[in-house]
Structure 1
Amino acid sequence: MAQPLFGLIISGRPIQMLEPVGNDPSQGKFITAIPQAESVNHIVVFLSQPIPEGFGAGVYFSWPDAAADGGGQQWIFLGFLSNQKPSAIYKIVKPKKDDSTAGVPGQTTALTLFGGVPFSSVAQLGISVESLAGLSAMGNPSTEASNRSSNEEFCTKMLENFCNYAVSFSVSNPANPNESYVPLKVVTNWYETFKRKFAADPNFWK
């Protein structure tokens, strides 16, 4: 192979090209070390040349203290690249000390994935060329996590907007001064206004 297939970009650092495990690119396993990974929040991984049709590149990340039950190294699946998607941005989240991801399907894989690589004292990024169908079945955790985060943010913003609007129209209960109520018309008006704004611009709440 004339040049490494995969590159890594970390803001403020030189571009890193992944090297084949055991200096044998035919195995389809590539790796690079990431020193001072605690300061890294996002990484960009890219293809420097096309890969064979029908195959994708699984992107895996390993923290130096992420050890599996048997003392081996764990690799967290971040997502995958393909010729149709030659680059991607991944968010790196350091696991809590009491987190245990061992045995979670599609999230981690044992030392056998990059079996020729010894345990490292720094974080590592690994690329494994695998069937595109198999990688697609594993999903894209970073995208799914981003979607969940966006959905949570949307629900939070929507509820905050509704509560602030409704409370501003609250009326004291004459029969019990300690209680307040919101007229049904206020709720209806908020709903119609929110629906109209959302139809005009789905991102207005941001």
Structure 2
Amino acid sequence: MFALLVSGRLVQTNFVQSTEDQRKFMIDIPQAEGVNHVAVFLTGESPFPLGTGGQIYFAWPDSQNKTTWRLAGYISNDKPSTIFKISGHSKSYSDDTKSYFAQPLLTPTPCTQTAKIGILIESLETIKLMSK
């Protein structure tokens, strides 16, 4: 359903769905220290259920390998793709960021250069409120 494009790399479609919350999907961006922008998009395989979309979160582990998630944008059936900048974010996270991705979906990797993208399926109403 989802895909990730990092410039100069093959498209990634290997998002992992959470077994604890079926609304959460996550993917790693290995060797992310040289990545400036990423694109997240619907593959066209299946649309979102009516009235829903996907909040996109970005995470970069800090020096203690703690993952902090930040809202980056959203996609929906009416807005099936988005591009956002990730460079420079590795130093800007604080510990008080609220996130729906507080618990990792996958076993954390020891590499601090692996960023993560999370997608949380939400109602379009909630997405619009959080986008303000």
TM-score category by the smaller chain?
0.7 to 0.9
Tell me the equivalent position of 1:102. 95
Change (3 A) 1:12 1:58: same
Task: State the distance in 1 between where 2:25 and 2:101 align.
Answer: 14
SS of alignment partner, residue 116 of structure 2: strand
Tell whether the 8 Å contact from 1:75 to 1:111 is kept in structure 2 after alignment.
yes
Shift of 1:17: 0.8
Shift of 1:92: 1.1
Shift of 1:96: 6.0
Bigger relative CO (Cα 8 Å, ≥ 6 apart):
2
Tell me the equivalent position of 1:151. none
Tell whether the 8 Å contact from 2:4 to 2:38 is kept in structure 1 after alignment.
yes
Post-superposition CA distance 1:64-99 (Å, at most 9, x none): 2276xxx852111101101000001111132364x4
Q: Which structure features the higher share of strand residues?
A: 2
Tell me the equivalent position of 2:120. 128
- Structure 1 runs not aligned, ≥5 long: 141-206
Tell whether the 8 Å contact from 2:34 to 2:87 is kept in structure 1 after alignment.
no
Q: Which structure features the higher share of helix residues?
A: 1
Tell whether the 8 Å contact from 2:33 to 2:87 is kept in structure 1 after alignment.
no
Change (3 A) 1:50 1:64: same
1:4-19 correspondence to structure 2 within 5 Å = 5-19=1-15
TM-score (norm 2): 0.80
SS of alignment partner, residue 12 of structure 1: coil
Task: State the distance in 1 between where 2:71 and 2:31 align.
Answer: 20
Change (3 A) 1:135 1:87: same
Tell whether the 8 Å contact from 1:66 to 1:73 is kept in structure 2 after alignment.
no
Shift of 1:138: 1.1
SS of alignment partner, residue 17 of structure 1: coil
Letter in 1 for 2:8: G
Shift of 1:51: 0.5
Tell me the equivalent position of 1:39. 34
Post-superposition CA distance 1:4-49 (Å, at most 9, x none): x100011110000142334x5x702111111111111111110123
Letter in 1 for 2:26: I
- Structure 2 runs not aligned, ≥5 long: none
Letter in 1 for 2:9: R
RMSD, aligned α-carbons = 2.6
Tell whether the 8 Å contact from 1:73 to 1:110 is kept in structure 2 after alignment.
no
Tell me the percent identity.
Answer: 37
Letter in 2 for 1:77: L
Letter in 1 for 2:39: V
Tell me the equivalent position of 1:50. 47
Structure ID, larger Rg: 1
Match of 2:108 among 111, 116, 119: 119
Tell me the equivalent position of 1:75. 69
